[in-house]
Structure 1
Amino acid sequence: MNKWCLLVVALVLMPNLAYGSIGFTSIVDASEAARPLMLSIWYPSDGDQSDIIGGNAVFRGEYAALDAKVVGKHPLIVLSHGGLRSTKDSGAWLSAALAKAGFIVIEVNAPRPENPAMAVDEIWQRPRDISRALSVILDNAAWADHIDEKKVAVIGFALGGTAALSLAGAELDAERYYESCADAGSIGADCTWFSSHNVALNQVDQDEFEQSRHDRRFTSAVLIAPEYLEAFSIESGMALAPTLLISLGSQEMKTLRLPHVEKKAIDEANRLDAFAVCTESGPQILLEEEGDAALCGTSPEERVRIHALIADMIVSFLARNF
């Protein structure tokens, strides 16, 4: 789908696209002292997009109008980035693109786990954070009037995609999940980190892990290169909310066991393309800091193209399922 097709789809879905500007603000929910959530909010606005959000020396940020007035009423997306050690606003590139298409987008930024022993609980913390963020925004009088509560989606990258699938109604099979890191082909990006600190997946808080995270307020879900797909129970996937899997490469397609999930693959992409576009000096900075220059991809132009494909797929899917 080219840019003009995306524009037509978005205009049908969101007549308020004509505002042509996006705003940004953030709120902090400190109702749980041990796990405060910083919520980054992107939305259609009529402000001057002069502020750069989510950028740093390695990755480009996105332009938005800081604390500008929100204009109109829109569907809502709650977005969760993936990596256990990701920085806040890692999904700014997608949040900005979806806000331009007429959505209000909430990116959930939770505290980074201090060590693998804490991180093993992120499998249930992430979906819990997302549901909590949705409650916070719907209970906020300043935002509630701008949200169409009948059109609420959850989108997640990597472990955030795993969380989105749980919220859509799928459930992890405990034994399959516990053995996930034993399989060399498993999509569990932090298995090596856990293993190097003698942390096993079965050290998760059992009571919390066994609770269903299905949240029926979410009417659709999008998973971008999710982890632990092979550990979900087939039976639990029979009555999912409408769900789209976007595979960056083909690995997720091989491990998806659930029926009734729409699948799209970007064969030429890889999981690192879920990162933002790098700055001109980004690759060199990563090399100097003994990081992985592959985080920047083959070229900025190629990553921009892949990001546009991802946004196109999401907008088209939501247009059909909202």
Structure 2
Amino acid sequence: MKLHVWLAGLAALVWCGFAHAATVGFETVSAPVAGDRPLKISIWYPSDAPEVSEPMGLETQAVARGGPIVGRGHPLVVISHGTGGSDTSHWDTAQALARAGFVVAAVAHTGDTYDDRSRALRIIERPKHLSVAIDYMTGAWRGHEAIDAGRIGAFGFSAGGFTVLAAIGGEPDMSKVDRHCAVHPHFYECQMLRMLPRQPTAQTVPAHDPRIRAGVIAAPALGYAFTPQGLAAVKVPVQLWRAEWDTVLPQPYYAEAVRRTLPKPPESHVVPGADHFDFMPACGAAMAKAAPSICGDGVFDRVAFHAAFNAEIVRFFRKTLG
């Protein structure tokens, strides 16, 4: 009941005066990266071609693969997934944005996907992937002329939330991680540190991208690593989400720490009854069987929540990107 009351109130605030795309176009590309493997990017965009249901890993989506891009002046939103995720981890949010007139580019972070964890601890390198995606989408992509390069936002979940926070100006104090894990050895990132070998990286400061004008951050990882000084340069609007019962990144060390530390109060949402992975789409039968730990127990209504969640993200980017 608590969730449904929250959803009803949220839905009542959502502005529905924007034009919807007739269909959603979709394609997957590889963006070149100097000195590294190409970056895989999945792209959703407004189209008018017929949609066809097609497999997407263990899930399916209805899209117009390779369809024409309709319209001009579309804002661009880049998406950063959580650790061990993929470029399609937030496909429903990407589709909602595309239907509302956005072009969406979701990256597969090299070395931190479900099939390759070789760089999972090199989180400081992730923000540069968003810059690579923006460069590609506004330059080399076949539909780049349909994008308004002055209207760019970013969405990130979990490690992706850290990624977006760093990309918009945040500078984490990574020395805090070991101190945190000495006190909380059972927390998720602390278990990762014990399970995975430390991987050397020449990068010590995340890449910031001033082209990103607004950020949506859900359940950000390593929130405690950002001091007031480390977030002082974050000037763009932020929409911040946390799950009431996040068992992976428990409060008050992550989203709540970011909320308290940002120099300008974010638009903040706490989702009643939600757990960490409820920010990912509702699972189909195959996904639920293969990865029950991320699909929930069926008590929390993820379908209803995502209808409101995605609408709020659309509203926020409409407001902040103009």
Give the TM interval when normalised to the shorter protein. 0.7 to 0.9
- Count matched residues: 301
Kindly indicate which of the two structures has a greater share of residues assigned to helix: 1
Displacement of 1:7 after TM fit? 11
Deviations 1:48-89 (A, max 9, x none): 111325341xxx332111100011121100001112x22441
| 1:148-187 alignment runs, 5 A limit | 148-184=148-184
Partner of 2:108: 109
SS state of the match for residue 38, structure 1? strand
Instruction: Give the direction of change, closer, same or farther, for the CA distance of 1:312–1:204 in structure 2 (3 Å limit).
Output: farther
CA–CA distance in structure 2, aligned partners of residues 3 and 99 of structure 1: 24
Displacement of 1:193 after TM fit? 2.6
SS state of the match for residue 265, structure 1? strand
* Residue 281 of structure 2 corresponds to residue 276 of structure 1: yes
| 1:139-154 alignment runs, 5 A limit | 139-140=139-140, 142-154=142-154
| 1:10-159 alignment runs, 5 A limit | 10-12=16-18, 15=19, 17=20, 19-32=21-34, 34-52=36-54, 54-56=56-58, 60-73=59-72, 74-83=74-83, 85-113=84-112, 118-121=119-122, 123-140=123-140, 142-159=142-159
Q: Among 243, 251, 257, which residue is 1:248 paired with?
A: 243
Displacement of 1:195 after TM fit? 0.8
* TM-score normalised by the chain length of structure 1: 0.83
> Which one-letter code corresponds to 1:9 in the other structure?
W
Deviations 1:100-150 (A, max 9, x none): 1221000101333588673221x1221011111110111126322111112
* Deviating more after overlay: 71-80 vs 301-310: 301-310
Structure 1: runs of 5+ lacking an equivalent: none
> Which one-letter code corresponds to 1:194 in the other structure?
L
Does structure 1 retain, via aligned residues, the 8 Å contact 2:25–2:63? yes
Partner of 2:4: none
* Residue 231 of structure 2 corresponds to residue 237 of structure 1: yes
* TM-score normalised by the chain length of structure 2: 0.83
* Deviating more after overlay: 300-309 vs 138-147: 300-309
Percent identity over the alignment? 27
Instruction: Give the direction of change, closer, same or farther, for the CA distance of 1:37–1:228 in structure 2 (3 Å limit).
Output: same
Does structure 2 retain, via aligned residues, the 8 Å contact 1:54–1:88? no
| 1:200-211 alignment runs, 5 A limit | 204-205=200-201, 207-209=202-204, 211=205
CA–CA distance in structure 2, aligned partners of residues 64 and 47 of structure 1: 9
Deviations 1:236-273 (A, max 9, x none): 32342111111122634432232312211112211111
Does structure 1 retain, via aligned residues, the 8 Å contact 2:273–2:300? no
CA–CA distance in structure 2, aligned partners of residues 152 and 268 of structure 1: 32
* Deviating more after overlay: 36-45 vs 136-145: 136-145
- Runs of at least 4 residues off by over 4 Å: 1-8, 113-117
Partner of 2:262: 258
Displacement of 1:91 after TM fit? 1.6
Structure 2: runs of 5+ lacking an equivalent: 1-6, 246-250
SS state of the match for residue 143, structure 2? helix
Partner of 1:317: 316
Does structure 1 retain, via aligned residues, the 8 Å contact 2:11–2:308? no
RMSD value, Cα? 2.8
> Which one-letter code corresponds to 1:99 in the other structure?
A
